[in-house]
Structure 1
Amino acid sequence: MPLLAGTLRIDFSHQFGEQPLTLNSLKYESAETLSVSRFSYLISQPALQKEDGSWQELPGQYAFINASTRRTSFTLTKVPPGTYKSFRFSLGVPKKENHGDPAQYSADHPLNPNLNNLHWDWTGGYIFLALEGQFRTSQKRLNGFVYHLANDQNLSRVQLAANFRIKNKTALALSFDLKKLLTQPRALSFEKDGNSTHSHPGDAISSALVANLKSVFSVRGVSYPPDEVPLAAVTPLFLPKNYTPFPLKMSRRFPMPLLPRDNPLLTQRVALGKKLFHDKSLSKDGTISCATCHHEDKAFTDGLKFSKGINDQEGDKNSMPLFNLAWKSSFFWDGRAKSLRDQVLQPIQDHREMASDLKIVVAQLQKDELRAFENAFGPGPVTEEKIALALENFLLTLTSYDSKFDRAMSGKAKLSEAEQRGMELFFTEYEPRSQQYGADCFHCHGGSFFSDHQFHNNGLKPSLFDTGLMKVTGKETDRGKFSTPSLRNIALTAPYMHDGRFQTLEEVIRHYNEGIHRTSTLDPNLAKHPKGGIALSGKDQAALISFLKSLTDKKYGAKERNSQKTQAPLRR
């Protein structure tokens, strides 16, 4: 009887010389003193060398490694039992997959762009390795660096000698030394060689990185861990006897979302969530609902600098748009909610917003909406949890993917000359070393969603009291970082930024062009720019705005135009 296939777990540790890598710590010495804020990469084409020298390929298996989230392990499956003497893999993605459709992958697949944030969706191809951070110049000034290794010619094969056997479960511990990536055999200086690369053909920095990758990996050891306890199966919560699955509509360009398995999309549940979203009885005095601060004709924002709650109490944040939330994993400007079901209950209770007592809300809905709740959740009383699940269900169905830009990408529309120029600027980096003078927008606002769904310090003059992500994590390195909103429907969602400080898109572009405020947590993609800004001409700034306006979804834009048409004419 043949032996069953085993598994091989690969565990990476990240070092800088003799020191373990700590993100956002300005202490590492190479050509300059530097810190690392982002370090992630893709692994493909794993293979094991047998004792006779032949290779056992393990096709179709990939890994995404990310130091920021401590995602440092992956497991190879269906590994034939036996004794092996080498492990081989590629850093990057093979040509076929690199230019394939990224929307084909499941939500938890390493090549899903929404998971790895390593795909240039509209220009094609994956970033194989992303290394970003800050360094101290010879003038003792902090500057940013952004090294993105990509493109087919930079796919790098690594082979490591390691004696191990596969019987059931085996673990191989590897080390990645970032100091060697920057120094051996080809030393790189951010100040002298350049502080950014996007791997254009013939680029000297990417060539040096590929050469140095041969020396960065080493084997730390082999182990044979005991059987692990399997994860418990997820059971849907409160599934009614009769239900209709809700068909989520999305663009074929969108990657698959990771929907909550315990709260499947049901037509009855979505309908209840929509009703609750517009229900003013959820507020203390019955005057406002969720929809009060999230108007559909404004892409679910409200047009105010700060949203207002009961008794016209003003909050301290600009209302965020509500679409394509199924692809997000944290909510609010500071990311304090890790799920929509957690997020939706907070405004109901906040004294500046709806100011309600959830016990009173539950009692009222028990009296008014019990039948709707039983249709959505089966027999049983109304509860806080069911309110949250219904609202989550509804919000997950709100999507946006049908703008002029989307239609142009599908050959169903044509961008104007100004929009086309704006698109070129948007998706082109600012890298004078390579004769690239774009607006560099795509780093934080790239991909199908025009957002990386991460947190960045985008150079706004900071407030002592509004610290952003730092308020949640307590880390000084997160000061001034806020959630990156989607630029879809941006023409409808003024005013802009977390505090609504900019009234127009012209002000926003001017900020990025010349108004960046430099701090120690400024995002490297902005910190790498010259102190005086990127000097876009007035014509190019206008073109960039034209492109941004092409991102308006017609289902929201049409509502806005219709509402404007029905307004009474001004009396003069």
Structure 2
Amino acid sequence: MERIDPLLIATAQSKQAIAARLRGNSRMAWLACGLALGWLAFDAQLSGQELRLEIVPEWEGNPVVPGETVSSERVSGMSLSRVDGLLSRLGLRRADGSWLESDRWHVYFSAEKRRLTARADGLPAEEFQAIRFQVGLDAETDASDPQEWPADHPLNPSVCGLHWGWRSGYVFLALEGHWTPAEGKSSGFSYHLAGAEKPMTVELPVTFSGGQPTTIRLGMDVAKILAAGDVVRESSSTHSRSGDSLAATMKARVSRSFRVKTIQSDLYQMADSAQPRARPLPSGVTPLRLSISERLPKVKLPEDNPLTVEGVELGRQLFNEPRLSRNNAQ
């Protein structure tokens, strides 16, 4: 799984600001940070949740296993050894029709390497009705110097292996494999779809709430792109050169090859400070109910120090108090 640029850049900036503040604080400020832990956990819920996308390569509804034969009535002995691609420009359509988009979202997925999950941070607590993304890159990114990307970035050639060394630009989708023609001798095929002039845009209706971490599983039917295998009988390869009609036809099919399989919201463990305890809360104090994803370790709050709205506010004020910092400024 790879971390993708956030949908809301402010989320990443707030994390950086917190890290900088911690580096400059004195020992007394660390005590204040301890009191502020409740505020930080609560603030994490407000600043945005995580959206996970899981890409599932399929052949007519059945998962594709690299190297294993797929069931096809039109071609025999067909198997896929490579299903690799690049995704970008994630967008989510709000209920009012406007779009929440990120032009810094880049994903490299690979069936062979089992890199089929990506995520975006900063999902706000809103209602969404559709998801949109592009298979491939915009013209400017496609023409950029590939060596400028960090070593672990999805667009670094050492990571994705999808940049053409003999020509400029990236391969947006690579489909490779073998099949057995009528004469009985195995034959290979290689289809490399590229070119930003005709974007492969995928838009799918999907209704979900952004108030909690959400996972959307997307099926990608390779059989639709290869016309159930008819393509391999017509031509064994394409490299998306100018005027290549096969590449244009296959790119048009890519946009129709995706579907939403499932939508799942994370379950929460409930750290409820309102549970009965030996020491009742003082009058005028409001208990705070904190919801934490079940992916995180189990949280056990001390019974003699319950989490309250007033306590969280005190922690926030102490965390931001300049007099508790080393230089009386942070």
After TM superposition, the score normalised by the length of structure 1 is 0.38
Letter in 2 for 1:149: L
| Aligned: 1:144 with 2:185 | no
CA distance in 1, matches of 2:150, 2:156: 7
Q: State the partner residue of 1:431.
A: none
Q: Is the 8 A contact 1:30 1:182 kept in 2?
A: no
Q: Deviations over 1:482-536 (max 9, x none)?
A: xxxxxxxxxxxxxxxxxxxxxxxxxxxxxxxxxxxxxxxxxxxxxxxxxxxxxxx
| Aligned: 1:172 with 2:216 | yes
Shift of the 32–101 alpha-carbon distance from structure 1 to 2, 3 Å rule, reads same
Q: Quick one: which of 67, 74, 77 aligns to 2:121?
A: 77
SS in 1 for 2:68: coil
Letter in 2 for 1:189: V
| Aligned: 1:104 with 2:151 | no
Q: Is the 8 A contact 1:49 1:55 kept in 2?
A: yes
CA distance in 1, matches of 2:165, 2:198: 19
Shift of the 183–30 alpha-carbon distance from structure 1 to 2, 3 Å rule, reads farther
Q: Is the 8 A contact 1:32 1:136 kept in 2?
A: yes
Q: State the partner residue of 1:466.
A: none
Q: State the partner residue of 1:119.
A: 163
Letter in 1 for 2:223: K
CA distance in 1, matches of 2:73, 2:227: 7
Q: Quick one: which of 206, 210, 216 aligns to 2:257?
A: 216
Q: Is the 8 A contact 2:54 2:218 kept in 1?
A: yes
Letter in 1 for 2:265: Y
Correspondence 1:554-565 to 2 at 5 A: none
- CA RMSD of the aligned region, Å? 1.9
SS in 1 for 2:197: helix
Q: State the partner residue of 2:15.
A: none
CA distance in 2, matches of 1:3, 1:91: 31
Correspondence 1:145-294 to 2 at 5 A: 145-183=189-227, 188-191=230-233, 193-226=234-267, 227=293, 228-229=295-296
Identity %: 30
Correspondence 1:41-80 to 2 at 5 A: 41-80=85-124
Q: Deviations over 1:18-46 (max 9, x none)?
A: 32211112343164221101111000010
Q: 1:163 Cα shift?
A: 0.1
Work out the number of aligned pairs and report it: 227
SS in 2 for 1:29: coil
| Aligned: 1:16 with 2:59 | yes
Q: Is the 8 A contact 2:56 2:218 kept in 1?
A: yes
CA distance in 2, matches of 1:38, 1:189: 16
Letter in 2 for 1:42: L
CA distance in 1, matches of 2:118, 2:74: 32
Q: 1:188 Cα shift?
A: 3.7
Q: State the partner residue of 1:130.
A: 174
Q: 1:229 Cα shift?
A: 4.0
CA distance in 2, matches of 1:149, 1:35: 19
| Aligned: 1:32 with 2:75 | yes
Q: Is the 8 A contact 2:54 2:215 kept in 1?
A: yes
Shift of the 122–203 alpha-carbon distance from structure 1 to 2, 3 Å rule, reads closer
Q: Deviations over 1:391-444 (max 9, x none)?
A: xxxxxxxxxxxxxxxxxxxxxxxxxxxxxxxxxxxxxxxxxxxxxxxxxxxxxx
Q: State the partner residue of 1:430.
A: none
CA distance in 2, matches of 1:229, 1:70: 24
Q: 1:10 Cα shift?
A: 0.4
SS in 2 for 1:210: helix
Correspondence 1:543-562 to 2 at 5 A: none
CA distance in 2, matches of 1:155, 1:3: 34
Shift of the 88–30 alpha-carbon distance from structure 1 to 2, 3 Å rule, reads farther
Deviating 4+ runs (over 6 angstroms):
none
Q: 1:76 Cα shift?
A: 1.0
Q: Is the 8 A contact 1:81 1:165 kept in 2?
A: yes
Q: State the partner residue of 1:95.
A: 139
Letter in 1 for 2:138: P
Larger % of helix: which?
1
Shift of the 190–67 alpha-carbon distance from structure 1 to 2, 3 Å rule, reads same
Letter in 1 for 2:239: H
User: Higher relative CO (CA 8 A, sep ≥ 6), structure 1 or 2?
Assistant: 2
SS in 2 for 1:215: coil
SS in 1 for 2:215: strand
Letter in 2 for 1:21: V
Correspondence 1:463-482 to 2 at 5 A: none
CA distance in 2, matches of 1:68, 1:176: 15
Letter in 2 for 1:177: D
Q: State the partner residue of 1:443.
A: none
CA distance in 1, matches of 2:119, 2:104: 13
CA distance in 1, matches of 2:132, 2:91: 5
CA distance in 2, matches of 1:6, 1:19: 31
Q: Is the 8 A contact 1:7 1:170 kept in 2?
A: yes
Correspondence 1:361-400 to 2 at 5 A: none
CA distance in 1, matches of 2:260, 2:133: 13
CA distance in 1, matches of 2:225, 2:258: 10
CA distance in 2, matches of 1:4, 1:189: 47
Correspondence 1:337-416 to 2 at 5 A: none
CA distance in 1, matches of 2:174, 2:158: 15
Q: Deviations over 1:172-230 (max 9, x none)?
A: 1111111111117xx74323x21000001121211121121122111012111243349
Letter in 2 for 1:190: V
Q: State the partner residue of 1:505.
A: none
SS in 1 for 2:164: coil
Larger % of strand: which?
2
Q: Is the 8 A contact 2:57 2:83 kept in 1?
A: no
Shift of the 224–108 alpha-carbon distance from structure 1 to 2, 3 Å rule, reads same
Shift of the 95–219 alpha-carbon distance from structure 1 to 2, 3 Å rule, reads same
CA distance in 2, matches of 1:69, 1:120: 20
Q: State the partner residue of 1:252.
A: none
Q: Is the 8 A contact 2:59 2:70 kept in 1?
A: no
